[in-house]
Amino acid sequence: MNSSLNNLVNCLKHLGKQNTNSHSRQYFAEKVLEAIYFVEVESKADLSPEFISTAAPLIKEAIGDLNRCVYILGNRFDQDRGSYNLILRSGVQFLLDDLKNWPADRDSLLESYLKIFLESHSLETFDKALYHWKEDPPVFSYLSITHTEEELKRPSEVPASHTWWF
């Protein structure tokens, strides 16, 4: 298994071990979304049935944490995180589009668990924050981090349907 695939499984395992109200749950949920992004842009061809059967049940168990993470990202939007926010959003979209047909267990696919992102409005909250950041940038202070156009440009490996990229 390559490093992107190992990273995803390790992040999922770490997320599962965190305390219920821990800030580290948010951190590892973000790391899971980031890892999904990199699996999809770097390792898609290496996705073996063994990897999928290992990762999918872990993702199923993490869905609630991932949904909370996306909601928090939207409600506590940090403009200084630049392309990292875009990577996390693409990670969610890859989860919804490309991982939805992974078997979560013997009787269901991940798709049936992923509906929470739309039903809870967490994704809508994050999308609104990204839209406002992109279309109506806040006034920057001397402490604000500025990002180059190249940093915020959609990578060629990311589908054009990921419209939150610049």
Which pLDDT tens digit goes with each residue over 33-42?
Answer: 999 999 999 9
At 94-143, the pLDDT tens digits run: 999 999 999 999 999 999 999 999 899 999 999 999 999 888 766 665 56
> By C-alpha distance, which of 139, 145, 127, 142 is closest to 88?
127
**Residues sharing a CB contact under 8 Å with residue 67, sequence separation 6 or more, in sequence order:** 116, 117, 120, 122
Instruction: Identify which has the larger pLDDT, 2 or 55.
Output: 55
To the nearest whole number, what is the mean pLDDT of the chain? Answer: 91
Dist. CA 32–CA 12, nearest whole Å: 6
